[in-house]
Every structure is written in C-alpha cells, then in structure tokens.
Amino acid sequence: MRCRYVKEIFYNKDNGFCIFVYHTKDAGVPEAAKDTRYKGEGVHFTATGIGLPNTDTTETELIGNWVKSKYGLQLQVESYEEILPQTKEGIKGYLA
C-alpha cells in the first residue's frame, strides 16, 4: 500500500521497533483500521514494524498483514520500499 508518514506513536531505539501513523488514498484499508479522528482526504492508519521510514518527504510502499491487537486493527509491516520523488520539486524537497 502506497502511503506517507504522518507521526510517531512509539519508537524503541534499542531494537528499532516502531508504531507510526501513515496516510494513504488506498481504498483497501479496512474500516476498522481507519483513524476516525482524521477528516481529510484519504485515511490515516497505524502500522507497526522494525525500522519503518519516518519522513514525509517520500512515499512508501508498505507490505504486510492487518492484525488485530488490543489497540485495534494495525498493519504489521513485513517489508517496505521507499518511493523516491519523480518531479523536480519533489527531488528538491527530498534532498533538502
């Protein structure tokens, strides 16, 4: 799922485990995983994993499974790929 980092909920600097909020326009996010407080375009959801990207200058393709925890439905990330910007303005922002 293509998305962009929004904010950190938790980060363990010792082992790299993190819980982050991401934004996506992907319609495949299950209803139970959507952050109902977000009212803008697209949806916010929570993802967990090791060493996840935490910059909003690039988009990220997250690959994983939806897992229900005591905190609700979250994307448990197995792998990811950062998608570098393709426009001149995007590249300038990324390099800055």
Give the tens place of pLDDT for each residue, 10-54: 999 999 999 999 999 999 999 999 999 999 999 999 999 999 999
- Whole-model pTM over 0.85: yes
What are the domain boundaries of the chain?
2-95
Rounded-to-integer distance, Cα 74 and Cα 64, Å: 10
Tokens at 70, concatenated: 């005591």
Structural contact between residues 61 and 28, judged by C-beta atoms closer than 8 angstroms:
no
What pLDDT is recorded for position 49? 97
Structure confidence at residue 87 as a pLDDT band (50, 70, 90): low
CATH number of 2-95: 2.40.50
What pLDDT is recorded for position 57? 82
What pLDDT is recorded for position 88? 73
